[in-house]
Structure 1
Amino acid sequence: MNIDRPRGSRSATIATQTVALVVTAVLCAFLFGLLGRRSWVLDLFAHFRVQYAAILCICGLALMMLRHFRSAAAVLTAAGLIAASIVGYTGWPSQEAQAASGGFRFVTFNRYYHNDRIAEVGAWLQESRADVVVLQELDSMLIVQKLAAVLPDYPHWHAGLNAESDVAIFSRWPIRSADLIELSPGGAQVTKAVIDWNGEPITLIGVHLHWPLGPEVTRLRNSELHELGVLARATPGPLLIGGDFNITPWSPVFREALVDSGLSDCAHGQGLVTSWPSILGPVGIRIDHCLASDHWRVMNLSAGPALGSDHLAMINDLELKR
């Protein structure tokens, strides 16, 4: 990137060069992310679009302080274009809504394997008044049974635990049927349950897809996303898919899979919501998603607490279109 001719002291020159280097790195990273479909390494760059916009804003302000006004304007324009693409998808933040009468509250939460705060998790889920909860990273039936003991309002549950599945579905409503479905050979298996919600059959699918670290596991993750879309299109009636997808909405792989599935991202238009890592709060990224069939209208989406996990719980309030 060309920066206006440095002015002032040596320290100002060094500061200008440092800012120029950061701006160049951020712009390259953003462009790499747009090519994420071509390589698993490039796709990793796609997930930090919000952070890129924030860093460019800081760099633009720094250039203004260094009196490089033309360069500052160019950098702030680039930041504004990236920010516009973010707001175009997320919309403006919405106010947290309460579960309304006739509404459906769907909560997902990645427990984290080493999290032993079971009573705290159960207490919060009880207070959340969710209709259905999808939990991930449940490594044994003993953990599931401990959770069931602290979730008296969720007497109906199904957990298909094995080497490729760590997901359980807890429901206030009777479960009509439940299955464990392999998405792709050697890939993650998803937990599917059909509940009876006021006489209406609702299909819930809980997922925990592979980490995209390395070409083989990324291929598995992408195949899992594709097969989720195939499963969604073959599922009649109201459908919700939720859990840890290990991919952000900024990835071209996610956007392509979403279009192919015919589902909608519940977070679309609901403001900027992040889920991981929980320690970073709003500075993090969102890899926990809720996907809905066109039977649903999303009323609100918000993040819950961490409850000892590296993920934040995700709260999705929806209603059926009549």
Structure 2
Amino acid sequence: MDSIIRNIITLGLPTLMLLIARVATGKTGDAATWSALRKIGGSFGMLIGLGVLVFVGFVANYFSYFVVDSLLVRFYQKRRELEQPEELVREVDKLPITNDLKIKLKWALLHSNNQIISLKHVILKWFMLAAIVNALLSITGYLGEFNLFFELSSHFKLQYLLAGLPIFIFFALVRSKKIWLLVSAFCIILNLAEIVPWYFPAPAFAGETPGQNLRILHSNVLTNNRRYSEVISLVKTEQPDIAVFVEVSTVWAKELAVLSEIFPYSSNLQESERFGSAIYSKLPLENTSVKAFSKQRKSLFADVKFQGKIISLILVHPTVPIKQQNFIDRNKQLAGIGEYAAQVKNPLIVVGDFNTTMWSPFYKNMVKTGNLRNARSGFGILPTWPTFMPLAYIPIDHFLVSKEIGVLKIRTGRNVGSDHLPLITDLVI
């Protein structure tokens, strides 16, 4: 019986994942299966998708041992407090379970000190559970197109990597548990593959070109942040050519108006008392307009004159994907941004708080459709949110540029009271 339950768990989880992926493709027959495997494999392809399913089954198998055996042992230990162990042993002999599990149950019943579980055993079990959770979270992000919670799990690649390192070290020391060493190594490799490319290759433009670079500062100021002077001070210190802001409340809009002394050109969008966007520029702004990529938050558009060229700039702030409807709307906005970017003929900069990381499948589709690249490439992942919880830092603020634009440098600015760190980038056409 325990063997059947283990097989159901082992085969059930990867089968369920494949079925969900098949349904999401909207196809039928073999085409649905191949498409589902490609979806599961993400940017790595169909074979990796198949490998992911095999790995999930592998982890589920070991998890089934942990669950089934532990529950039965605990069940008989509780009964031992009220019944004679000899009678329970005879009962165990009659159970339709494997001999290995029978031996384990008998040992638990006949050893009175078994309830005092050794510290080593407890630590081992917790590390096994941590390895399982880390493996599942590392994988589910690749299924983000199918579910809100899967997509949310895609954003914490750095955290999964950092969590995987002590797990790997532990199982490297506990040499009898080689299978868990492989599981933890798999998690490290999987997350490293998503993080390391952001540090390599080196940026195409290694040095600055005096007088020819374009500096842009972006800041989500946070509607209830009251440290107005710190934001203004940051702008004056960094001396950007263009400063853009999102989550601009009506109060923030009044406070930021002082920047008009530095920036003669500006464009503002106030959607509500709490939310708005603003562009301040030392360079002339033309064709300013508002773009609606979905029913919710709108985006600011402007053409900027720079060195005799026209650069198009889009300031975006998609909705926070916590609720299902907002999740759908944010994804629609990202798709719309990608489609619009593909049609823009000028060099293009798309900047803002995207409420997603580079590891989201919706982000990947957007940059692929729009022929865009993240200015972070070669400079690291540069997490920007949340400042109130550094261990959970993830990169959700982005500068995306078209191929005509080179990135000299990109970095985070100092904390100015918001839950986001500012981003400052130096670009060259």
TM-score normalised over the length of structure 1: 0.89
Letter in 1 for 2:283: W
Letter in 1 for 2:376: A
Within 5 Å, which residues of 2 pair with 1:34-183? Answer: 34-68=142-176, 70-71=178-179, 73-74=181-182, 75-91=184-200, 100-140=210-250, 142-150=251-259, 152-163=261-272, 166-183=276-293
Of structures 1 and 2, the one with the larger relative CO (CA 8 A, separation 6+) is 1
Q: How far off is 1:76 after superposition?
A: 3.0
Separation (CA, whole Å) in 2 of partners of 1:76 and 1:175: 51
2:418 is aligned to 309
Please list the CA deviations of residues 8-52 of structure 1 after superposition, one character each: whole Å capped at 9, or x if unmatched: x81011101001101101111111111101111211111111111
Separation (CA, whole Å) in 1 of partners of 2:416 and 2:202: 23
Q: Secondary structure at the match of 2:215?
A: strand
Q: How far off is 1:93 after superposition?
A: 8.9
Please list the CA deviations of residues 171-200 of structure 1 after superposition, one character each: whole Å capped at 9, or x if unmatched: 11121231111112x222001111222332
2:409 is aligned to 300
Separation (CA, whole Å) in 2 of partners of 1:97 and 1:159: 34
Please list the CA deviations of residues 117-155 of structure 1 after superposition, one character each: whole Å capped at 9, or x if unmatched: 111101111111211111011111x42232121463222
Separation (CA, whole Å) in 1 of partners of 2:288 and 2:244: 13
Q: Does 2:399 correspond to 1:290?
A: yes
TM-score normalised over the length of structure 2: 0.68
Identity %: 24
Letter in 2 for 1:290: F
Structure 1, gaps ≥5 residues long: 4-8
Structure 2, gaps ≥5 residues long: 1-58, 64-116
Separation (CA, whole Å) in 2 of partners of 1:165 and 1:122: 19
- The count of corresponding residues between Structure 1 and Structure 2 is 313
Letter in 2 for 1:178: T
Q: How far off is 1:162 after superposition?
A: 1.2
| 2:198–2:381 CA contact under 8 A, matched in 1 | no
Query: Which region of structure 1 is more displaced relative to structure 2, 308-317 or 172-181?
Result: 172-181
Separation (CA, whole Å) in 1 of partners of 2:332 and 2:199: 26
Please list the CA deviations of residues 223-276 of structure 1 after superposition, one character each: whole Å capped at 9, or x if unmatched: 001111122122221110101000000111111111011111111222121000
Give RMSD over aligned pairs: 2.4
The structure with more strand, counted as a fraction of residues: 1
